[in-house]
Amino acid sequence: MFVSQEIRIMKFWKILLGIYQAIIAVFSLVPVFYTIYIVFEPSPNAVYHLSNLFMLLLLLIPTIIFCSCNAVKLLVPARNIFAKWKNLTQISTVFTILWTLLFAYLLIFQTSSGSCRTSVPETSLLKTGQTAPDFSIKDQFGKTTSLSELRGKPVLLDFWGVWCGPCRQKLPHTQKIYEKFKDKGLAVIGIHSAFRTKKAAAFIAENNYSFPTGVDPGNIAKDYGITAWPTYYLIDKQGAVVWGPEHAPPSERLIKSLLKD
* Domains in the chain: ranges and CATH: 2-110 (no CATH), 122-260 (3.40.30.10)
Query: In which band, very low, low, confident or very high, does the pLDDT at 91 lie, cut at 50, 70 and 90?
Result: very high
Region 90-118: what's the mean pLDDT? 74
Q: What is the pLDDT of residue 166?
A: 86
Q: What is the pLDDT of residue 224?
A: 93
Q: What is the pLDDT of residues 106-158, one digit of tens each?
A: 766 554 445 566 544 444 567 889 999 999 999 999 999 999 999 999 999 99
* 55: amino acid identity, one letter: M
Q: What is the pLDDT of residue 181?
A: 96
229 pLDDT above the threshold of 60 = yes
User: How much of the chain, in percent, has pLDDT values that exceed 70?
Assistant: 85
Kindly report the backbone phi and psi dihedral angles of residue 115, in degrees, each rounded to the nearest multiple of 5, phi listed first.
-155, 160
Region 239-248: what's the mean pLDDT? 92
Q: What is the pLDDT of residue 156?
A: 97
Q: What is the pLDDT of residues 24-64, one digit of tens each?
A: 999 999 888 877 776 666 554 444 556 667 778 888 999 99
Contacting residues for 31 by C-beta, under 8 A, at least 6 apart: 53, 56, 57, 60
Alpha-carbon distance of 237 to 24, in angstroms, equals 49
Alpha-carbon distance of 237 to 31, in angstroms, equals 43
Going by C-alpha positions, the residue among 205, 180, 175 that lies closest to residue 190 is 175
Q: What is the pLDDT of residue 120?
A: 44
The whole-chain average pLDDT of the chain stands at 86
Q: What is the pLDDT of residue 34?
A: 75
